[in-house]
Structure 1
């Protein structure tokens, strides 16, 4: 794929502000599948707090493996989301998660990962003979949990494929451009027709390449929003900076698209989920 090289493009971690704000949050990023263009993954851990409650997950174009590590540990696989989702967290429970940055890095397991779009499946339904949930619950440190999961994922999940994957390289280019790349131009660089590129991408993800592009742009907007000063008199300037940086048409376009993915205005979102409160 001449002109379609991605080796030097940095990968930015997806952001879930509601989880980052949880007690004892930890995260670690590393490459877990060296066979694919986007083989990084995020490992994370947090405590739920004293009361059972629902917490917000925003679209990040990733699948999540999330485990509650209480007395009866259980796991769930959350598909990619095109809008905000609320997950119910148990009280006084530690959670451990694995977020591969690309569904193209995983074996199909008889399941098209795109079929999990906006839905979830029990971990035990896909892996009825595996006791990894209990092992994760018994592990004492975050590092031990990561090592346990890597051993499991390498054996059961890792997809070995050619590093010139069209879908994987498309993901890297879109993420590297922070959701601002022109799809038509990217398809031209791939050497394939635009129709072929779009079809292959949707087959893998269950949604369009344009929607993936929009989600990455939204994620970048969230990152800029939460990194900005909380001073009220700077709200207008912050909004203008984000609109300019992310190529939105105007303020109404930015707010409309932000609400599409989070069901909140940028100002309301920042007030609730600001990491530096």
Structure 2
């Protein structure tokens, strides 16, 4: 569905930054009406820049008016946001432990946070001022990448091993054995550097598989979803467990999810 006045899209990153950012997202509302969108959880940490009319973030009964820039995440549940007329948004999506590699553990437990608090010299305010003078989203992304390059720290060995795995089965035991750590320490490193536990990401990836299957079927023109096929393909115990995950991550039933497809912004897996 076309939304009058909304100009938005994804911007891919160069190969040198593929382990840092999954992508950038921009949205400009040049129309007369406020636009409501929903961001699906992707367990990513995001850095949001606002250059126009303040954007409103909605989560439950809470509202956050964002003026210049803010860090949010890891995004574990869906939330709505409002793009008023004149809003101009750019979002950097950090990949895996990349946010931790920039700022360390001291900020991971304090998100959401205004970005001025991340640095004593208010470096993000300066970056925001530079970006505000640039009008094209792609040129803004180039400026962010140039700014980010010197700050990226080395990846911890535990995080590196976690990212090399295609499955999380017996992962903690394997890494603990290969690195002479306790299983508990591996779990703590995972939580500290990624912002979520292995159990959380296992549950999320199963849910994301279900969402991808549903959207793939809709893309082929399917008018009805066989939820039993989804349950079997994603190893859910039964329909109630599938429904519970939809409500947990999106605060929507599967049926409501189908009805609201036009308003949903899905992160890259």
Query: Closer, same or farther in 2 for the Cα pair 1:141/1:104, shift >3 Å?
Result: closer
Alignment match of 1:68 (pick from 50, 66, 91) = 50
2:41 to 47, 59, 77: 59
C-alpha separation between the residues in 2 aligned to 1:148 and 1:21?
29
| 1:180-219 Cα deviation digits (max 9, x unpaired) | x42xx12233225432321211222343210122122222
Q: 1:47–1:226: structure 2 CA closer, same or farther, 3 Å change rule?
A: farther
Q: Distance in 2 between matches of 1:194 and 1:68?
A: 41
Distance 2:95 2:242 in 1: 25
Q: In the alignment, is the contact (CA less than 8 A) between 1:65 and 1:97 conserved in 2? A: yes
Could you say which structure has the higher strand fraction?
Answer: 2
The offset of 1:266, in angstroms, is 1.7
Q: Structure 2 length normalisation: TM-score?
A: 0.75
CA contact (8 A) 1:68 1:95 kept: yes
Structure 2, unpaired ranges of 5+: 55-66, 265-269
**Aligned-CA RMSD value:** 3.2
User: Deviation of residue 115 (structure 1)?
Assistant: 0.7
**Aligned with residue 150 of structure 1, among 138, 145, 151:** 145
- More displaced stretch, 65-74 vs 206-215: 65-74
User: How many aligned positions are there?
Assistant: 240
TM-score, normalisation: structure 1: 0.73
User: In structure 2, do the counterparts of structure 1 residues 218 and 23 end up closer, same or farther at CA, with 3 Å as the change threshold?
Assistant: farther
Output one character per residue of 1:132-157: Cα deviation in whole Å (capped at 9) or x when no partner: 2122222232221111010111134x
Shift of 1:268: 0.8
Call closer, same or farther: CA 1:161–1:110 in 2, change over 3 Å: closer
Unaligned runs of 5+ in 1: 1-19
- Offset of 1:273 from its aligned partner? 1.7
Residue pair 2:44, 2:94 contacting (<8 A) in 1 also: yes
Q: 2:12 aligns with which of 18, 24, 29?
A: 29
| 2:28 matches 1:47 | yes
Q: 1:217 and 2:198 equivalent?
A: no
How far is 1:92 from its partner? 2.5
1:4 is matched with which residue?
none
Q: Which position in structure 1 is the counterpart of 2:91?
A: 97
Alignment counterpart, residue 189 of structure 1, candidates 157, 174, 183: 174
Which residue does 1:123 correspond to in 2? 115
